[in-house]
Amino acid sequence: MASSSSSDAIILGLGVVLAGVYLFRDTLFAAAKPKATPAVSAKIANGSSNPRDFIAKMKEGKKRVVIFYGSQTGTAEEYAIRLAKEAKSKFGLASLVCDPEEHDFENLDQLPEDCAAFFVLATYGEGEPTDNAVQLLQNIQDESFAFSDGERKLEGLKYVIFGLGNRTYEHYNVIGRKVDAALAQMGAARIGERGEGDDDKSMEEDYLEWKDGMWEAFATAMGVEEGQGGDSADFTVSELESHPIEKVYLGEYSARALTKTKGIHDAKNPFPAPISVARELFEPHADRNCVHIEFNTEGSGITYQHGDHLGVWPLNPDVEVDRLLCVLGLSQKKDTIIGIESLDPALAKVPFPVPTTYGTVIRHYIDISAVAGRQILGTLSKFAPTPDAEAFLKNLNTNKEEYHKVVANGCLKLGEVLQLAAGNDITLIPTPENTAAWTIPFDIVVSATPRLQPRYYSISSSPKLNANSIHATVVVLKHENIPSEIVKKKWVHGVGSNFLLNLKHATNGEAVPLISENGEERVAVPAYLIEGPRSAYKEDTVYKAPIHVRRSTFRLPTNPKSPVVMIGPGTGVAPFRGFVQERIALARRSIEKNGPDALADWGRISLFYGCRKSTEDFLYKDEWPQYAEELKGKFVLHCAFSREKFRPDGGKIYVQDLIWEDREHIADAILNGKGYVYICGEAKNMAKQVEEVLARILGEAKGGSGEVEGVAELKLLKERSRLMLDVWS
């Protein structure tokens, strides 16, 4: 029976095949017919079939400059695009702006002699390349990596380098310096000086001071003359008379968000997370705010680990949106649907989804709340409504000291600068009646204004205790500017933190606090359109915010026997709350499995925390005793209250003072216990001073000094990832 069945199956199968051959005979036997694919053949002929071949792309597009950017938050990419635009406007040279992650470097030695390579590289974290520049750095530094001719030589390559860093970090601009040194070692010739931007002071000013000399050297090295370029736009903006509104982006960040289709939630498609808890952490009498906020991620597919960062996507406050709409004369056209196209997609991609509206771009997609840059003011001066306004902007553009006094110290946003130039009162609520309209083309606004980026916060929870919830601890940024004769005293509000404060008020149904100024009662914080596009961020009484998770290497040691020292004053304590929760989850399992003595050989976790007063801004003060009890004495909290407890000489006590007091335990934990040290918080003063104290403790414990033996030990700890920092300027 089995044999007969097999024969039948074979015969049946053969019949099906023969029938198929007959039915599709024209297709199967049409090899002699020419294929209509001349475009593909042409691409293969000129080598552009390989999307990773930047040399072929340059030849195909007749480009003489290639610009590689290493960018983590988008800033380096912005400067790369600016350099490309300047090469075009000054010399008429076309550039190819490249994400190094998307290209191969074996043929870097094939760059033609009349071309140049630019490297715009940010240093990220503790002296690390940005994620998209890891492979570039490895290729440039790896002695075994060879170029297309089989050698590690780049003789004849002309290059320009601009690094982005922060001087408060130990490894200031180290990636730019490493690439510069490696290229020079292989015989490449640098054009001009290496540029280094310091984000702690003014990246913009560093760039402006560097670029003029670089362009002079560039003109000489490339044999070009300034003035050969033209002042052309990067985009064309067109108003669309009819377009289905359901296909218009009104603040959505992705096509999936617009069409409400499921997909992975990441930096390109943030998740609108419901807010389950939002509460004030500071006491009612404090003059500041700190928001504890919990996002429900159930069903989103988002996962996280302790120490990761939460990206929150804010929007611009109502008053600044209205201000810029008035300045641009677009108040009555804010809902007009527009399309935006790039005139050179390789140079400047449209930085947000389209079609959209004027109002949406200004509210959701571009950062109009940052201090206005000096360079753009010269470009905008030609569109001034009066000669006086034009002269005012030109002066700010060319006079660095005046710009610093008026704009930088005054913390003026673009809309405010343009109002001020036109003689408008920037203290009034902006309206078309009290604001002069400028004739600035919208494509210039899009080109000159950075995209509004997510704000990142250290996650203050552990997924082992909060699997479907991500917690953030956010101090609300609010400070006064430095007034001048031209700019009055005013409050400056952080975009992301005040956005979250608005959400806290709405979530809890709280009244927005009021203040009285000059006899006029006004709200104390800026308002935001927190309902989101198409009211997508509000469901009944629940508010949502778009979020995503950014991975971090800021992690506890896997072995609980290792001692841990954590230093986190202020909101620097946020990740350490997650660390302690992580340990508690492990402790519960260990005790359940091995009994009440399961933690006996665990290493001690020491947390050094500081704030102003125990009665004012002591974060999570009710939780720490509970954590200590659960960890059976393996968790010890050291608190410094800088405005409450003082040294005998009257000086304030900070976390570094507590660390010195506990120096014997710290030295033993690190040197003998092979412990781990974590620092989180402000980089410029706190982190630097903490490292100095740690170096002194370790140096003296080893029988030497902090300056020699101590510094060497800290360096070793960092190399072995036993001293880790999560700091900001």
Question: Is position 543 annotated in a ligand binding site?
Answer: no
Asked whether residue 439 is marked as a ligand-binding residue, the answer is no
**494 in a labelled binding site:** yes
- 332 annotated as a binding-site residue: no
- 164 assigned to a ligand binding site: yes
The closest of 449, 277, 330 to 380, measured between CA atoms, is 449
The reply, when asked if residue 456 is annotated as ligand binding, is: yes
User: DSSP states of 469-504 as a string?
Assistant: EEEEEEEPPEEE----SSS---EEE-HHHHHHHHHH
474 is in an annotated binding site: yes
Please give the angle made by the CA atoms of 682, 269 and 444, to the nearest 5 degrees: 80
Partners of 564 in the β-ladder: 605, 676
123 is in an annotated binding site: yes
User: Exposure pattern of 30-68 as b/e (b: 16+ CB <10 Å)?
Assistant: eeeeeeeeeeeeeeeeeebeeeebbbbbbbeeebbbbbb
Q: Binding residue per annotation — 70?
A: no
**496 assigned ligand-binding residue:** yes
DSSP state of 693: H
For residue 171, say whether it is annotated as part of any ligand binding site. Answer: yes
156 is in an annotated binding site: no
Residue 278 burial by CB count (10 A; 0-12/13-18/19+): exposed, middle or buried? buried
357 is in an annotated binding site: no
Is 431 marked as binding a ligand? no
125 is in an annotated binding site: yes
| The residue to which tokens 């934990």 are assigned | 669
Any known ligand binding at 497?
Answer: yes
Residue position matching structure tokens 């736009």:
233
Q: Is 75 annotated as a binding residue?
A: yes
- The answer to the question of whether 168 is labelled as a binding residue is yes
Query: Binding site annotation covers 250?
Result: no
Query: Is 588 among the annotated ligand-binding positions?
Result: no
Q: Is 676 annotated as a binding residue?
A: no
Q: What whole-number distance in Å separates Cα of residue 353 and Cα of residue 345?
A: 14
Look at residues 216, 160, 153 and name the one whose alpha carbon lies nearest to residue 190. 160
How far apart are alpha carbons 130 and 133 in whole angstroms?
Answer: 5
Residue 728 marked in a binding site = yes
Is residue 650 annotated as involved in ligand binding? Answer: no
Q: How far apart are CA 491 and CA 288, in angstroms?
A: 13
122 carries a ligand binding annotation: yes
Task: Give the separation between CA 669 and CA 331, rounded to whole angstroms.
Answer: 63
Q: Is 242 annotated as a binding residue?
A: no
What's 386's DSSP letter?
Answer: S
Q: Which two tokens stand for residue 38?
A: 């001349």
- The verdict on whether residue 642 carries a ligand-binding annotation is yes
For residues 331 and 327, give the distance between their C-alpha atoms in angstroms, rounded to a whole number: 9
Does 167 show up as a binding residue in the annotation?
yes
Query: According to the annotation, is 475 in a ligand binding site?
Result: yes
Is 512 annotated as ligand-binding? no
42 is in an annotated binding site: no
Question: Does the annotation place 656 within a ligand binding site?
Answer: yes
Q: Residue 319, annotated ligand binder?
A: no
Binding site residue list: 71-76, 122-125, 164-173, 199, 288, 455-458, 473-475, 494-497, 571, 642-643, 652-656, 728
Binding site residue list for NADP(+): 288, 571, 642-643, 652-656
Binding site residue list for FMN: 71-76, 122-125, 164-173, 199
Binding site residue list for FAD: 455-458, 473-475, 494-497, 728
